[in-house]
Amino acid sequence: MSPNSDNPPGLPPTVVYSSKSDMITAILREMILTGAVEDGTQMRQRDLAAQLGVSPTPVREAIRRLEAEGLLESDPHRGSTVVTSWSVEDRARIRARLESLAAEKAAEKIDEETLAELEEINRQFAATGTADAEERAELNSRFHSTVIGAADSPTLVSLVSLLVRASPRSPRTPQPSDSSATEHADLILALRERDGTRAARLAEEHVLRALAVKAGDGAATPRRPVDASRESG
């Protein structure tokens, strides 16, 4: 992939794919995972080709790939239909694992400047009361995005972003600022000490706790709207 500003709608303007089938696969995958198309929707090749301005060939190849991924199901009478249905718990656990991996990688690569940035963000976050939910959410988003960015993995950034966009938007009660700030501080310390194993564990526990998911009990309760990295506390 290389920079390009001419990609079709649905893809970042800085990404170009090596083939049209790769590009169409990415567009359709995001449409499915973000809920732009619902479960049971028929994915007609000719309609999709016309919508995306391409020939049916790359659409056909993209559909085959998505069937192999389990996002589409082929039926001799109905054609290909959307079959994905992620539970809130699924999203939360996958999100937690991705952020855990990001924290582990960040522990290897993070520099003093980024550590100082995280400390300043968390200082502001701790000083922000729950009454100012918008500012608190913005600071929280910056904190999580900075940790993920420190992993220096565009793939992780893309996956977390896609997963957040695929999450339902429902009201949620914010986790207390002091609790989240303490957990943020513990994570910063693990990153500073280059302890990837501890950073990974702290990041996963933090995200699961913020999303009200208890390991092993199968419960998950979304508690406020999702925006970028704002879902976790």
pLDDT at site 13 = 39
Fill in the amino acid letter for 165: R
The full set of domain ranges for the chain reads 20-82, 88-210
CATH class of the domain comprising 20-82:
mainly alpha
pTM: 0.63
Same fold, 20-82 and 88-210: no
CATH architecture of the domain with range 88-210: Up-down Bundle (1.20)
Tens digit of each residue's pLDDT, the chain (233 residues): 333 434 343 333 344 567 889 899 989 988 887 778 888 899 999 999 999 999 999 999 999 999 988 889 988 888 899 986 666 677 788 889 999 999 999 999 999 999 999 999 999 999 987 667 888 888 998 999 999 999 999 889 888 887 776 664 433 434 555 789 999 999 999 999 999 999 999 999 998 887 764 344 444 333 333 333 444 56
**pLDDT reported for residue 213:** 42
